[in-house]
Amino acid sequence: MINSSALLADLKGQLKTLQGDLKERADDPTTEWGAALQREHARALKRERTGLSWTAWRDNEVDQAAVAWIVATTFVRFCEDNDLLAGATLAGTPVPVGWIAGPGDRASRARENQTAYFRVNTSHHDRDWLQQAFRVLAAQPAGAALVDPRHNPVWTAEISAEAAKGLVGFWRRTDDGGALVHDFTDSALDTRFLGDLYQDLSEHAKKTYALLQTPEFVEQFILDRSLTPAIAEFGADSLKLIDPTCGSGHFLLGAFERLNAQWAADAPGLDPKQRVRKAMDSIHGVDLNPFAVAIARFRLTVAGIQAAGEKSLVGVPELGFHLAIGDSLLGEQGGGGDRLFDDGTLDLGIDGTLDEATGDENAEFTYATEDVDEYLGILKPGCYHVVVGNPPYITVKDKVLNQKYREAYSTAAGKYALSVPFMELFFRLAIRGEAGRGAGYVGQITSNSFMKREFGRKVIEELFAGYHVDNPVDLTHVIDTSGAYIPGHGTPTVILVGRRRRPVAESIRAVLGVRGEPGQPKSPSKGLVWSEIVEQIDTPGFDGPYVSVVDLGREVLSEFPWSLSGGGAGDLKVRIDNAGKQTLGSLATQLGITAVTGEDSLYMLGSSGGGARLGVESLRKLVEGDVVRDFSIGESEYAIWPYDSELRVLRFDDLDQGSRKVFESFRSAINRRRRFGTPMVERGLTWWEWQELYTEKLRTPLTITFAFVATHNHFVLDRGGKVFKQSAPVIKLPEGATEEQHLELLGVLNSSTACFWLKQVSHNKGNGGIGGGIGDEDWEPRYEFTGTKLEEFPLPATLPRARGALLDELAREFAAVAPRSVIDRWRNEGIDENLSDALSSAAVDWSRLRERLIFEQEELDWETYGLYGLIDDDLTYAGSSVDGVMLGERAFEIRLARQVASGSETTAWFARHGSQAITELPVAWPEDYRALVEKRLALMESDRGIGLLERPEFKRRWATVPWAKQLRDALEAAILDRLEDADLWQDFQGPATSSVAQLADLLRNDDTLRALARELTGSTEPDLAAVIGSLAPTEAVPYVAAHRYKPSGLEKFREWQSVWDLQRREDAGEKVTIPVPPKYSTPDFRKVEYWKARGKLDVPKERFILYPGVGREGDTTTVLGWAGWNHRDQAIALVREVMSQRSLGAADDSLIPLVAGLVELEPWLHQWHTELEPEFGSSAAQAVTGQVDQLLSQLQVTRDDVNAWRPPAATRGRRRA
């Protein structure tokens, strides 16, 4: 039996090899496949099936082809080991079984058969031999669709002989005992391992297609409420079921098992083969991913022959299932338009464009791998008794497809996720219930993002509310599964069940979440939350520890947003709403986004001087949501600011030189930005300004900003000088509003009451997307707090002004004693005490202020309960003996600790927040405070609403970075700042590189650096070279592309070089077409530090330049340059380094990468540095080009040769015995 995890791990290596092999062939127009791909991409662009660049589109095709080879050989191996092709014939001639490998003597037989084949076919190699195996499989009626010669890439994407030989060798590997490493022999013919292969083999496919298996227990639950009642109502005969997002076929396999069993019960005398055929005839599926469909077909085929009592594929007729490859959302023809027609196609808007593949000007474009047009009517609306599935949850990155889906589905609004149009499609495919005709059943597990995010409004208020006249929806069950542990589902989910008809009941059965799974269960199907759902769904009125079951009025679920919280949360929200005397929206003049750059990786230049190093003078602090925490705004990045003092965009010529250079260099990446779907330039905007800037929100200094995405609510008052990114929306009060008016709002917005209310109406994002994990505890998921939701936030008659003002003041004091603030004052203001004393004193103040903040927040929460009328007595502290508490000492934490001690609760709250769990009140507390906390604890037990509010998910976390970590970070940043002194990076001859040892020697008498190093190391005599050597290289990026990038990154860099060349030609007046340049990702860089410094557009924001392989005589420390040098200075320093290395006797080979660095700088020199410089007697550009020409001549190489240089592969050390 196959070891699934070991197989998957090994196949990933094979996939990488095949991808590299096929990428070369795809880029080679002289190969048949390469030429065909390039034609297909051009046609796809022309016919609006894609908007992707050639590189991005090609990578997907290469990935699909590589996976196809792996999947097809896996099929053959499974068949070999389980005798599924015994007795096979090809063109009427028996063929010897054994192609690749097998246990026992089968491997040797396979080798013998291959040798015999090569004797007859002398020009063939391993690829042809593998294709011969595929032909045998395809020759069987039941196997024809598994490696379809018309559509499967294994017939057209021909891997090289070497790659094919490696693939065959991979399958023939044996262990030390001579046994086959991957043996598929299995009497049960279990194909579940193919599901793992489908989901995890290709990271590219996983991200592109949102690959995600539906666990069997979820699939069974949905089929119980869709297929089972459909069989009871319609019967098995002629019943039709479809999964339009079938993936590897989990729902289809489950459906087949049920239908086959039903036929066995209904017609026990029926021949098993006929029974299987009838059951399979009900099965329909479509998926965009070709290898997903191939796997689903194989799994159904194996299940079918097992159910029919067969032992082999040979002689088994076609089984009769209907699985197609294509885009379900675009209908059978893969086209675009407004709506699905009755025949399952879309209004294609034929424009008479000739299809280059067929010569038919009315033929709609389909990809070579798609075969959906061969399954006529498979996507015809109103045809299915059952529609089930698990649609993808991702958004559409391809802009052309995104627009086509918008045109086809009215629910696809705003920044919609794919789950939305699929909801509409699922119901549209079902039979419409009318007089005398039963309605089709629909069941799906999907992302719950539509429930509270704005793009879900149309789904809820139009589709689910019944306003789609042609597509009526009768929701019958809405099941909150966001708290259940469902393997692989990091995105919070909901199960929807319904029928395509006018609603027949006034209520909808709803399972509401009370709390999430407390830990990862050993068996997910027996998880506490899931078990309660399954056991209690038919018990309305059930109110358990994990879910509540209710029958909600249909009108409740016809209004946006949905809130599926149980355990009394709905009643508590109503009480808060009723206590509100006005809403936040009635006070605020503006609430929402201030700024969107449209390309953060270009405009945002970091917080450590990146702008200055690039020569950019006009900068503004741009606040992001993740630094808005606990009443303070943390360290923010600086962004290029192309506006004047009146917030008007500057003319390009009026920008500072540094800004102009940055924009010019990357204009092809930003001049196509869109605003609300329309190119910015078509809206009368300039191509260099920010994508969105709502200047009216910047005209008054006072602003309340908040974290758009966070686990808890964070609102901060800013007093001016900053701009706020979309992740930090703002609340603006009327002009003239006082600071006090802002502070009273600040208090209530930061309360636990506000946190509770916001979480009822806000989208739960989980902990990180598909597969990212939702989090074991209810305080872990991140929520999306939008301005639209905040507008409706109810405000009590009285606001906690004093407490809000106090917390704001304490937070400012707290920030002032943070290590970075103390060090900055010590460096810049020259405070009298030495650094060590200043830091020691600040550490004491920092701890004291943190405890005071925690205490005052607790008082704010209890004061707010009273302001909303949730409690009758004032339970705030009126004494003066306590003004601070530590984490772990708040009333709700003591209650939580007691629950943990009793075994009724498990939590990571205390460990994650570095606090101590205590079950008894601290003895040091005075009696009056002890009594107050006891009252609070008692009320939590007696009042369900207060007990709900006083839970970790609504209480401030105070997840502050520890003092020690802040101190280390601040000391390191200060040292690095000191190392950026421009004087350190030049000598009397100009810009000069320096080794770490040389830097240490230059700074050996620097009192500031030595004081910082003493604090960092704890040594009175720190080793400056060791300190510098541990810090500076981590902030450096190599000078030449070959040292920066992996092969994928180098490919993108070459594309960028081509784009820059086209830009220069355009600047010279030539008419050229400039393609959209690619963006980089983490895997494109050799080190993650390089990626962090450069980002998606490779904008240089690092502090230093790294020169790998360059040394000094008698000095082995790292050689660095300063990233603040412009292109001229970089080139001069590099020329000097080349000369220095030559004088030290460096080998010619070691000079080639240095010359390559100069060659990469040359175009920039000729663009920016062409003025005459007396010291050269020419321009810097001419001088450097002359040096390069001379060096190339001396080294006897060309520019192409040095550009082709690659670093030698890293050698691995020998393993210890």
Residue 697: inside a domain: no
Could you report the per-residue pLDDT of 549-599, keeping only the tens digit for each? 999 999 999 999 999 999 999 999 999 999 999 999 999 999 999 999 999
For residues 315 and 362, membership in a common domain is answered with yes
Boundary residue ending a domain (547, 567, 587):
567
Residue 22: inside a domain: yes
Residue 221: inside a domain: no
For residues 417 and 270, membership in a common domain is answered with no
Question: What is the Cα–Cα distance from 867 to 1142, expressed in whole angstroms?
Answer: 78
For residues 269 and 405, membership in a common domain is answered with no
CA distances, 636 to each of 609, 639, 701, 724, 1093 (Å): 12, 10, 17, 10, 16
Q: What is the pLDDT of residue 1047?
A: 93
Question: How many CB atoms are located within 10 Å of the residue 747 CB?
Answer: 27
Mean of all residue pLDDT scores within the chain: 92
Range of the domain at 265: 239-381
Q: What is the pLDDT of residue 257?
A: 97
Residue 165: inside a domain: yes
The DSSP 8-state label assigned to residue 459 in this structure reads: I
Question: What is the Cα–Cα distance from 134 to 143, expressed in whole angstroms?
Answer: 9
For residues 982 and 1019, membership in a common domain is answered with yes
Q: What is the pLDDT of residue 1143?
A: 92
For residues 258 and 148, membership in a common domain is answered with no
For residues 199 and 305, membership in a common domain is answered with no
CA-angle at 819, arms to 814 and 823, nearest 5°: 120
Give SS3 for 188.
coil
* Residue 335: pLDDT band with limits 50, 70, 90: very low
Q: What is the pLDDT of residue 1114?
A: 92
| Cβ-count burial 1131-1141 (b if 16+ within 10 Å, e if not) | bbbbbbbbebb
HEC assignment per residue over 532-568: HHHHHCCCCCCECCCEEEEEEECCHHHCCCCCCECCC
Would residue 665 be called left, alpha or beta, if left means φ above 0 and alpha means ψ between -120 and 50 degrees?
Answer: alpha
For residues 372 and 397, membership in a common domain is answered with no
* Residue 346: pLDDT band with limits 50, 70, 90: very low
Residue type, 1116: T
CB of 729 closer than 8 Å to CB of 644: no
Counting the structural domains of the chain, the total is: 5
Could you report the per-residue pLDDT of 283-308, keeping only the tens digit for each? 999 999 888 899 999 999 999 999 99
What is the distance of C-alpha 624 from the center of its chain? 18
Q: What is the pLDDT of residue 342?
A: 46
Residue 36: inside a domain: yes
For residues 18 and 153, membership in a common domain is answered with yes
For residues 128 and 53, membership in a common domain is answered with yes
Of the candidates 542, 471, 482, the residue with the CA atom closest to the CA atom of residue 509: 542
SS3 content of the chain, % helix, strand, coil (to 5): 45, 10, 40
Quote the tokens at residue 803: 């407490």
* Residue 1211: pLDDT band with limits 50, 70, 90: low
Q: Which residue has the tokens 């358990």?
A: 544
Residue 682: inside a domain: no
Residue 293: inside a domain: yes
HEC assignment per residue over 202-266: CHHHHHHHCCCCCCHHHHHHHHHCCHHHHHHHHCCCCCCEEECCCCCCHHHHHHHHHHHHHHHHH
Q: What is the pLDDT of residue 1031?
A: 98
For residues 1035 and 1065, membership in a common domain is answered with yes
Q: What is the pLDDT of residue 344?
A: 46
Q: What is the pLDDT of residue 1210?
A: 72
Half-sphere exposure of 1195 (CA within 13 A, CB side): 24
For residues 362 and 418, membership in a common domain is answered with no
Q: Which is higher by pLDDT, 819 or 207?
A: 819
* Residue 349: pLDDT band with limits 50, 70, 90: very low
Quote the tokens at residue 183: 């043996």
For residues 424 and 359, membership in a common domain is answered with no
Alpha helices in 647-771 (DSSP H): 657-665, 667-670, 739-749, 752-761
**Burial label, 996 (beta-carbon count in 10 A; 0-12, 13-18, 19+):** buried
Could you report the per-residue pLDDT of 926-964, keeping only the tens digit for each? 999 999 999 999 999 999 999 999 999 999 999 999 999
Boundary residue ending a domain (514, 544, 567):
567
Could you report the per-residue pLDDT of 705-744, keeping only the tens digit for each? 999 999 999 999 999 999 999 999 999 999 999 999 999 9
Could you report the per-residue pLDDT of 186-229, keeping only the tens digit for each? 999 999 888 888 788 878 777 777 777 899 999 999 999 999 99
Q: What is the pLDDT of residue 341?
A: 42
Q: Which is higher by pLDDT, 346 or 979?
A: 979
The CATH number for 406's domain is 3.40.50.150
Could you report the per-residue pLDDT of 1066-1125, keeping only the tens digit for each? 999 999 988 888 999 999 999 999 999 999 999 999 999 999 999 999 999 999 999 999
Residue 863: inside a domain: no
Give SS3 for 1005.
coil
Mean pLDDT calculated for residue range 537-545 = 96
Quote the tokens at residue 362: 């009315």
Could you report the per-residue pLDDT of 94-123, keeping only the tens digit for each? 888 899 999 888 899 999 999 999 999 999
Of the candidates 565, 606, 690, the residue with the CA atom closest to the CA atom of residue 1035: 606
Could you report the per-residue pLDDT of 267-281, keeping only the tens digit for each? 999 999 999 999 999
Mean pLDDT calculated for residue range 617-637 = 97
- Percent pLDDT > 70 in the chain is 95
Q: What is the pLDDT of residue 468?
A: 87
Could you report the per-residue pLDDT of 912-926, keeping only the tens digit for each? 999 999 999 999 999
What is the distance of C-alpha 916 from the center of its chain? 35
Question: Does residue 336 carry a pLDDT above 60?
Answer: no
Could you report the per-residue pLDDT of 234-267, keeping only the tens digit for each? 999 999 999 999 999 999 999 999 999 999 999 9
Of the candidates 538, 540, 587, 544, the residue with the CA atom closest to the CA atom of residue 566: 544
Q: What is the pLDDT of residue 1075?
A: 85
Question: What is the Cα–Cα distance from 593 to 728, expressed in whole angstroms?
Answer: 7
Q: What is the pLDDT of residue 873?
A: 96
Boundary residue ending a domain (337, 357, 381):
381
